[in-house]
Structure 1
Amino acid sequence: MKTVVWKHPLPDVKNHLDLTRGAKILTFAEQNGALFLWEAHDPSAAGAVARAFEVVGTGWPADVDPVRYIGTAQTRGGFVFHLFETTDLADGAA
């Protein structure tokens, strides 16, 4: 199995991404003033799965029912954001 890493921008508080079935989330970070999620997947894998992610700033009130904590990103501007996956992965997406 070959693996490729892709980067996805997270421009909103709530983000929906169609990721290849079985994609593994690697990290969440700030790059050049924007927030991104990196994931690895097998490019020959069939099918995509809709997955939802929510960005929450430290101290923000959030109506999030997190399934999984992904990580924390600190921006050059001094803000700190936390990423949660809010998708139910019971379908075997990951």
Structure 2
Amino acid sequence: MSDHPSTYDGTPEKSGPMAWDDRASLHRADDGQGVFDGANALNRGTFAEMIRHLTRLPEEERGKYVIQKAGDRQYTSSEAAMLATRDDFPAEAES
């Protein structure tokens, strides 16, 4: 279940576990957002995939990016690094 705002009062619904499979995209932190924010995405995938991608970048580069998760919630590189250490963070699928 995703953590998007409900239609009532615009507050996030309490969905329990983190929604690792929600849609997400990687953006430059300074891309300006705005009306065409979706077109500014550098990469797209699940929330877990974007966390993995961001945490694999060199540490000095990570701060230049944010993850935009479904429901218009942004996660900084430090938040992504913390989420990657959670016990419930999904293991990477083997090819």
TM-score (norm 2): 0.23
Which structure is higher in strand share?
Answer: 1
- More relative contact order in 1 or in 2 (CA 8 Å, sep 6+)? 1
TM-score (norm 1): 0.24
